[in-house]
Structure 1
């Protein structure tokens, strides 16, 4: 799509596999290689390592890792998507860098490679000429960022608009939404408080009020939240309100002040601060990005 919109020079994509053999994905689809890894030579513009079910076998294969290391030296920039970071790590290309990967694999990558700083929160991280992205859809964010770097924001915006996707989520946006990131808390009391928070965002959700409603002390409630959710009640409430505000900004034309009031923020400035902390951009820019990503016929 970038080529259609006038990328100059145009991108040439080549799928490379070990020995040029086809790759059968976990979905059952088979990808036909265009070239054998062993025969590729540089210089290359961008080297991207894809993740997947076979990433651990690939990272343990000295031949694959050796060729990746060789090609990285001949590439202007290097990137990975999802668990492709495992291969870059095995090649020593992430040493001393701050990186990300799929949230479900982050702790494994960190434990196996203590020389790497793994941050599971962002959707992609650029450190020097190496960029690591989180899982699946973050590949869109990664490539849009590359297109903008190469051809400017106007062309990247057109690509995003035609793909009906975000332009573009900032790299430090959280990978996961609190509403989808996992099963409900195992503790009954914490689950009740969480349900209360998500259902009453405009109410008094201070730690004191939540503790009183739950019939426990503030200290005990905070201890339970840290144990089961890894964050204090205050941080959980702030994130819940910010994510609800993001939904309203993307799906309604309510003024920012009205969104702030509906989601329990005292002022638009309070919403802005919480939004920047979570998404890396202010609410107004987030709304503009959502509108830019939609074809004109979809906009209200």
Structure 2
């Protein structure tokens, strides 16, 4: 590919693929082309499948595809494999798996969205690498493929040219990150706004929010605790105080909280505070010191440490990158 030629994208489909897994990333790249004359567009794309022809995806739509055997792998810039109900049948399709294995060394970026990670794993592309998938399938991925270091939390993971992403809409986050690498931050943010995705999430961000994960617990009292914590971030939120609020002993509360939410109360409180600070950095012009106080951190330095620990970025860097009024 010359410096002036468009980057060729290939989206691999299969029967019962999930629509948004490929339509989301495709829309990102299509919008990136809207400000260019067609002949100067930065991307072109192709939709392929194992046998080619009509493919019925999970939404019931039928799409025309090119057989992978007719898809020249020598000039593919970025290859996407999505997930969906049919992903495990796709992962057992020898024609598709053999083509992916043979094509991947020639591809600059190989990507999966959601459970599409299982297809890449079946092709042997993730051996010895870090990867992620939809949080509900991480345990199965690890059990089937112990050669992969499965990361549960990230929205997407990049390891030596292979990109894997979490559930469904995480494919949009991944595509925006790839677009930023290709065309720059300003263009990625322009496309994010066109999609009404005002925040472009970094790969290291958790797949789902702390309030959602706590509220997902079967016990309604944990939803009430979640709501109360969010409204009282500036107060003493040590385990003793939370246990008193829940009507339990501190030891019992800590044990049950971890069982139901997968995290300790102290970790959850810090994540709530980081999430509140993130929203303030994204949506307001309030000073970082004041944000730290409002979110319940002892000092601005404690806020910086928490951001570094949770998001691998400092607060001022986060604001510069993700403030919704970013030009």
CA–CA distance in 2 between the matches of 1:54 and 1:83?
A: 10
**CA 1:117–1:79: 2 relative to 1, 3 Å:** same
1:42–1:71 CA contact under 8 A, matched in 2? yes
Aligned to 2:15: none
- Secondary structure class of the residue paired with 2:267: helix
CA–CA distance in 2 between the matches of 1:123 and 1:210?
A: 30
**CA 1:196–1:48: 2 relative to 1, 3 Å:** same
Check if 1:94 corresponds to 2:131. no
Aligned to 1:38: 69
Aligned to 2:101: 69
- Map residues 118-197 of structure 1 onto 2, 5 A cutoff: 118-166=150-198, 168-181=200-213, 183-187=215-219, 190-197=222-229
CA-to-aligned-CA distance 1:248-294 (integer Å, 9 cap, x gap): 33333332222222222222222232233333333333333333577
Structure 2 residue ranges without an equivalent (≥5)? 1-30
Aligned to 1:273: 305
CA displacement at 1:25 relative to structure 2 = 2.7
CA–CA distance in 2 between the matches of 1:225 and 1:157?
A: 38
CA displacement at 1:79 relative to structure 2 = 1.1
**CA 1:212–1:264: 2 relative to 1, 3 Å:** same
CA–CA distance in 1 between the matches of 2:218 and 2:199?
A: 37
- Map residues 148-297 of structure 1 onto 2, 5 A cutoff: 148-166=180-198, 168-181=200-213, 183-187=215-219, 190-291=222-323
CA–CA distance in 2 between the matches of 1:153 and 1:41?
A: 31
**CA 1:233–1:159: 2 relative to 1, 3 Å:** same
Count of residue correspondences: 294
CA–CA distance in 1 between the matches of 2:216 and 2:57?
A: 31
CA–CA distance in 1 between the matches of 2:325 and 2:140?
A: 35
**CA 1:158–1:6: 2 relative to 1, 3 Å:** farther
CA displacement at 1:52 relative to structure 2 = 1.4
1:248–1:259 CA contact under 8 A, matched in 2? yes
**CA 1:29–1:288: 2 relative to 1, 3 Å:** farther
- Secondary structure class of the residue paired with 2:81: strand
CA displacement at 1:75 relative to structure 2 = 1.4
RMSD value over aligned CA atoms?
A: 2.6
Structure 1 residue ranges without an equivalent (≥5)? none
CA displacement at 1:126 relative to structure 2 = 0.7
Q: TM-score, normalised by structure 1?
A: 0.87
